[in-house]
Amino acid sequence: MSIEATFSLHYPGFALNVQLQLPARGVTALFGPSGCGKTTLLRCMAGLIRAPEGRLLVQGQFWQDGQRFVPVHQRSLGYVFQDAALFAHLNVRRNLQYGLARLAAAERRVDFDTVVQLLGLGALLERLPATLSGGERQRVSIGRALLGSPRLLLMDEPLAALDAARKQEILPYLEQLHDTLEIPVIYVSHASDEVARLADHLVLLREGSVLASGPLTETLARIELPLDLGEDAGVVLQAVVAERDSRWHLARVAFEGGSLWVRDGGHALGQRVRVRILARDISIALKKAVGTSVQNILPATLEHIAADSHPAQALLRLRAGPSPLLARLTQRAVADLALVPGSAVWLQIKAVALIG
Amino acid sequence: MALSPDLVAVLLSAKLATLSTALLLLLGTPLAWWLARGRSALRTVVGAVVTLPLVLPPAVLGFYLLVLLGPEGPLGRLTQALGLGLLPFTFSGLVVASVVYSMPFVVQPLQQAFQAMGRQPLEAAATLRASPWDAFFSVALPLARPGYITAAVLGFAHTVGEFGVVLMMGGNIPGKTQVLSMAIYNHVEALEYAHAHWLAGGMLGFSFLVLLLLYSRGWGRLA
């Protein structure tokens, strides 16, 4: 089962042309700068915009194909708007029940109490939207969408309108959804930290076209593309907590191709975690350094060298086992070390972020 | 026991205003919705036509209605052909005239209410499986409630207070088309100032209460 989406749409000064095949589980991030068409694409998928040429197949059901266009209210979807879009005249409970009440009993797969508990909404049920904080509103909005038992959950920058603290308040809930529900999610974002934490599959959009689409780790490592993530260039690796060192408050997380010491985040042994390693935090040595403060040193093979946004710099893709890593070096360092694809090198990793 | 002519006029005005307001809300809702949401180029033209009674002298409006609905007018012929008879100088004629005359006072607050809520609440309703009709009744109408209250109050008050259109269309037939404003006019003509004071003072008080109600609830801002 998968989601197939083909849309073609022309506005004055903007054109959307996409053809995508997306996994029907996990979180797919539509990522790109403002104006790249990610929200337009999401609205086309929901049916809120009727693209004149479009085809959308969701888990075996056509929502749009040729002349056939299933109206929004007949699609089994949930949509989370950037600013929550709660119904101002209904309290939280009745907002949550709005979609649920319009669903035949046999189609209700998501339980009211479960959602209330999952999103921590118990204390808010009798309140009106106007009395909620931005983060609370967005949690209600997510809950309302989930209670429609959708086959597909579409989220349009649900965290963009929130400040950093509120964002941190919601992210754990989203991660939990990701881990507990089997509803595929398409998540629009322009924030790379959200993508790193939540996404399994990444679609990069530029000016209405798909630049790349693939599993998160591999797609982030495609430096041959003009991604231009700047300081955010880097990879996200799936890892497992393999060892905890209580004396130094460190944990060793193992990924395919090596392991890394990180600050102990209180995760249990065997727990799956994500680690994010930014290109700027990796330096390269030809020999394994001794007498260094760097704790994480891994052998790797250089695979590809690409120009970076500034002519003084280069981005390098390396492999530690099957796992890709990115490093940002100066062009002079690349020349001094005579680095070429195939070179065996040592990665000195200065910082690793454990992201849930 | 026969009611005093003044009381008959007051009751007639109340009946006229109630009936007109109900019709205005019924007709004004789809019209305001279309003006707020439609995409047709006709919208500006229709919007201007609906607003005309706001700037036209009531006598002009009444005159044209009289001509249109009279025995030689196209609408008059239509009502006769339909077996409804002629509307001028009847209570039904007053209702029709009032609806036309007060339409902008009802359509504008409704249109503003529909515009102010934007598309998003309805889009959200659609993603939660509400059909367009369902979304209109369960989301748009409740959200537009303040607009409806303003529209109803203004439509009612405006109908009660009209004079020129009534004079042209309805004349001054006691018990039939002699409404409150006509009764005041008659008293003044007959130099019965004490009677005129009672009715005029009552109208003044009524109008003030209506506006007080509107402003106290924050609905005073109009087009």
For residues A111 and A241, state if they share a domain. no
H or E element at residue A65? strand A61-65
pLDDT for residue B219: 58
Residue that wins the pLDDT comparison between A133 and A180: A133
Q: Is the pLDDT of residue A181 over 80?
A: no
As a whole number of angstroms, the distance between CA B17 and CA B9 comes to 12
Q: Can you give the pLDDT at residue A91? A: 96
Residue A157 shares a structural domain with residue A244:
no
- Residue carrying the six token digits 């029709």: B96
Portion of chain A with pLDDT greater than 70, in percent = 100
Q: How far apart are CA B197 and CA B179, in angstroms?
A: 16
pLDDT for B218 beyond 70: no
Pick the range with the lowest mean pLDDT from A21-25, A302-306, A340-344, B167-171. B167-171
Domain assignment of residue A335, yes or no: yes
Whether residue A215 is found in the same domain as residue A268: no
The Cα B88–Cα B67 span in angstroms is 9
Compute the count of residue pairs across chains A and B with CB atoms less than 8 Å apart: 62
Nearest residue of chain A to residue B144 (CA atoms): A89
Distance from the A242 Cα atom to the nearest Cα atom in chain B, whole angstroms = 43
- Domain positions in chain B are 5-216
Check whether domain B5-216 has CATH 1.10.3720.10, yes or no = yes
Using DSSP, state whether A58 is helix, strand or coil. strand
- Considering the domain architecture, whether residues A50 and A191 belong to the same structural domain is answered as yes
User: CB under 8 Å to B145, separation ≥6 — which residues?
Assistant: A89
Number of domains making up chain A: 2
Do A122 and A57 belong to one domain? yes
- Give the pLDDT of residue B2: 62
What is the value of pTM for the model shown? 0.86
Q: Are residues A179 and A314 in the same domain?
A: no
Name the helix (H) or strand (E) containing B77: helix B74-81
Query: Does residue B213 surpass a pLDDT of 90?
Result: no
Q: Is the dihedral of CA B5, B9, B10, B11 positive or negative?
A: positive
Q: Are A205 and A328 within one domain?
A: no
Structure tokens at B197: 């004071």
- Same domain flag for A65 and A170: yes
Query: Long-range contacts for A64-72 (Cβ within 8 Å, ≥24 apart)?
Result: A71/A47, A71/B126, A72/A46, A72/A47, A72/A48, A72/B123, A72/B126, A72/B127
**What is the least distance, in Å, from the CA of B221 to any CA of chain A?**
21
Q: Domain containing A109 — which CATH number?
A: 3.40.50.300
Nearest by CB to residue A87, choosing from B127, B139, B145, is B139
Asked if residue B59 lies in contact with residue B164, where contact means CB atoms within 8 angstroms, the answer is yes
Residue B151, min C-alpha distance to chain A (Å): 19
* Residue type for position A132: L
CA distance B16 to B5: 16
pLDDT (tens digit per residue) in B56-111: 998 899 999 999 998 888 999 998 888 888 888 889 999 999 999 999 999 999 99
CATH at A261: 2.40.50.100
Q: How confident is the model at residue B222 (pLDDT cuts 50, 70, 90)?
A: very low
In a mutational test of the B interface, the residue from A77, A87, A141 whose CB has the highest number of chain B CBs within 10 Å is A87
Cα separation, A343 vs A345, in Å, equals 6
Q: Is residue A227 part of a domain?
A: no
Return d(Cα A234, Cα A220) in angstroms, integer. 7
**Chain B CB contacts of A148 below 8 Å:** 127-129
Contact A352, A274 (CB under 8 A): no
Mutate to test the interface with A, among B117, B122, B128 (most CBs of A within 10 A): B128
For the stretch A298-354, pLDDT in tens is 999 999 999 888 899 999 999 999 999 999 999 999 999 999 999 999 999 999 998
Q: Is A37 exposed, middle or buried (0-12, 13-18, 19+ CB in 10 A)?
A: buried
H or E element, residue B95: helix B91-117
Which residues of chain B does A74 touch, with a Cβ-Cβ cutoff of 8 Å? 129
**A277 and A160 within one domain:** no
- Domain end marker among A185, A220, A255: A220
Distance from CA of A109 to the nearest CA of B (A): 15
CB < 8 Å to B124, chain A: 79, 81, 85-87
Mean pLDDT of B150-168: 89
- Considering A220, A249, A266, which residue would you say is the last residue of a domain? A220
| Pair (A274, A132) in one structural domain | no
Angle ∠(B155,B122,B142) on CA atoms, nearest 5: 40
Per-residue confidence at B223, pLDDT binned at 50, 70, 90? very low
A226 found inside a domain: no
Instruction: Tell me which residue of A194, A355, A200 sits closest to A273, measured CA to CA.
Output: A355
**If interface means Cβ-Cβ distance under 8 Å, which residues of chain A face chain B?**
46, 48, 71-74, 77-79, 81, 83, 85-89, 98-99, 102-103, 144-145, 148
Instruction: Tell me: pLDDT of B29 over 90.
Output: yes
pLDDT in tens, A29-74: 999 888 899 999 999 999 999 998 899 999 889 999 988 999 999 9
B127 to chain A, any CB pair closer than 8 A? The answer is yes
Are A81 and A141 contacting, i.e. CB atoms less than 8 angstroms apart? yes
Residue-number span of the structural domain to which A318 is assigned:
234-354
Phi, psi angle pair for A95, to nearest 5° = -60, -45
Residue that is last in its domain, among A190, A220, A250: A220
Task: Indicate yes or no: CB of A98 within 8 angstroms of CB of B143.
Answer: no
The predicted pLDDT at position B211 comes to 82
pLDDT band, very low/low/confident/very high, at B215 (cuts 50, 70, 90)? confident
Q: How confident is the model at residue A282 (pLDDT cuts 50, 70, 90)?
A: very high
Residue A228: inside a domain: no
Pick the residue from chain A with its C-alpha nearest to B139.
A87
Contact B143/A at CB under 8 A: yes
- Given a cut of 90, is residue A187 above it in pLDDT? yes
B128 to chain A, any CB pair closer than 8 A? The answer is yes
Q: What is the dihedral of CA B205, B208, B210, B216, to 10 degrees?
A: -140
The reply to whether A33 and A134 lie within a common domain is yes
Task: Write out chain A residues lying below 8 Å of B143, CB-based.
Answer: 87-89
Q: Examine the pLDDT at B1 and tell me if it is beyond 60.
A: no
**From A73, A83, A88, residue closest to B129, measured CB to CB:** A73
The answer to whether residue A9 is domain-embedded is: yes
